[in-house]
Amino acid sequence: MIIAGRCAIESREDAIQAANELIELRNNGYKIHGMRGGVFKPRTSYKSFQGLGEIGLIYLCEAREQTGFPIVTEIMDGGDIELFKRYGVDVWQIGSRNMQNYSLLKAIGETRGEIPVLLKRGMCSNMKEIEGAIGYLGDSGLVFFTLRGLQKMDYGNSEIRKLMECMKHQNPDYRFFNDVDEITTVKNLVKSKEHVVVGFDPSHIAGNWQYVPQVAKEAVEHGANFLIIETVSEKEYGRKRKCDGEQGLTPLQLARTLGECVNIHRNYIKE
Ligand code: PEP
Ligand code: MN
């Protein structure tokens, strides 16, 4: 499965443009299953763009109406549960920073009913913590568990950097440590849970559009059940967006990446 779209929705035009790009890809035979777009953004700096909030949900709903794509967006606060229900958000994303926010997990677990949740791996979380977090969500709706890389040390030119250069699947210039090897481990961990699928977010690991296709292909090779990929518009290529602009693929780059992933996926299935 493929979920694609903006890291953060910046305006009504942006939401509609993102949706139109995905429609065009779909019309050209690329299977897209959902559209992402952040409107409540967890940012490291309080000075950074925090997302459009409720108005962003309105734009996402408009995009959904035009495309039919289910919408995936992050919920950061238990107080927004009613809001998410009111707008009928199709898939509630719980971000990496909140995988161990147990009061949020509990609140969502108790009230979501059949609504699917996309839970992202905590930046430092181990298998026990992953299993625990999934447990909080209950089993009455799908859980899209998403590996998205692990926190790295700020190593500059250190020995660790040299070590990383020698490691398979790692590139010291990635934004996060690539946890692609753990797809199989997590799939085994949730083997008995039929409501959990295990996917991958190459965008945040790569941190730069140039590396995204490689990381995406590795994830498919390792049996990821879905990918969630960030996009920018063709005209924004190389330009700054308010959030994560440098890691977004243009529609053309996304199309190429998906084309390559399809072949790898065929081989994986065959094996
Ligand atoms: C995102 O999906 O834009 C995001 C903030 O992801 P994560 O929680 O994995 O950092
Ligand atoms: Mn992002």
Q: How open is the CA angle 237-14-22, to the nearest 5 degrees? A: 75
Is any atom of ligand 1 closer than 6 Å to the C-beta of 38? yes
Give the model's confidence band at 265: pLDDT under 50 very low, under 70 low, under 90 confident, else very high: very high
Read off the pLDDT of residues 169-183 as tens digits, 9 standing for 90 and up. 999 999 999 999 999
Is any atom of ligand 1 closer than 6 Å to the C-beta of 19? no
Q: How far is the CA of 101 from the centre of ligand 1 (A)?
A: 15
Q: What is the mean pLDDT of residues 107-116?
A: 97
Is any atom of ligand 1 closer than 6 Å to the C-beta of 148? yes
Is any atom of ligand 1 closer than 6 Å to the C-beta of 32? no
Is any atom of ligand 1 closer than 6 Å to the C-beta of 109? no
Q: How far is the CA of 95 from the centre of ligand 1 (A)?
A: 5
- Do the strands 91-94 and 2-8 form a parallel or antiparallel pair, or are they unpaired? unpaired
Give the ligand 1 atom nearest the CA of 148: 9
- What pLDDT is recorded for position 241? 93
Is any atom of ligand 1 closer than 6 Å to the C-beta of 204? yes
Read off the pLDDT of residues 74-101 as tens digits, 9 standing for 90 and up. 999 999 999 999 999 999 999 999 999 9
For the chain, the average pLDDT equals 96
Give the model's confidence band at 238: pLDDT under 50 very low, under 70 low, under 90 confident, else very high: low
- The Cα–Cα gap between 37 and 256 comes to 21
The full DSSP string for 74-89 is E---GGGHHHHHHTT-
- What pLDDT is recorded for position 153? 82
In contact, 197 and 222? CB cutoff 8 Å? no
Is the pLDDT confidence value at 64 over 70? Answer: yes
- What pLDDT is recorded for position 27? 96
- The Cα–Cα gap between 203 and 174 comes to 10
Task: List the residue whose alpha carbon is closest to atom 1 of ligand 1.
Answer: 7
- The Cα–Cα gap between 18 and 203 comes to 16
Read off the pLDDT of residues 32-63 as tens digits, 9 standing for 90 and up. 999 999 999 999 999 999 999 999 999 999 99
Is the pLDDT confidence value at 236 over 90? Answer: no
- What pLDDT is recorded for position 160? 87
Give the ligand 1 atom nearest the CA of 42: 5
Q: What percent of the chain has pLDDT over 90?
A: 92
Is any atom of ligand 1 closer than 6 Å to the C-beta of 95? yes
Task: List the residue whose alpha carbon is closest to atom 9 of ligand 1.
Answer: 96
Is the pLDDT confidence value at 206 over 80? Answer: yes
Is any atom of ligand 1 closer than 6 Å to the C-beta of 248? no
- Do the strands 71-74 and 34-38 form a parallel or antiparallel pair, or are they unpaired? parallel
pTM over cut 0.85: yes
- What pLDDT is recorded for position 136? 98
- What pLDDT is recorded for position 217? 98
Q: What is the mean pLDDT of residues 176-194?
A: 98
Neighbours of ion ligand 2 (CB under 5 A): 7, 244
User: What CA–CA distances, in Å, run from 164 to 32, 125, 161, 179?
Assistant: 34, 20, 5, 13
User: What CA–CA distances, in Å, run from 14 to 197, 228, 250?
Assistant: 30, 18, 13
Give the ligand 1 atom nearest the CA of 121: 9
Read off the pLDDT of residues 25-35 as tens digits, 9 standing for 90 and up. 999 999 999 99
- Assigned token pair, 222: 């390792």
Is the pLDDT confidence value at 106 over 90? Answer: yes
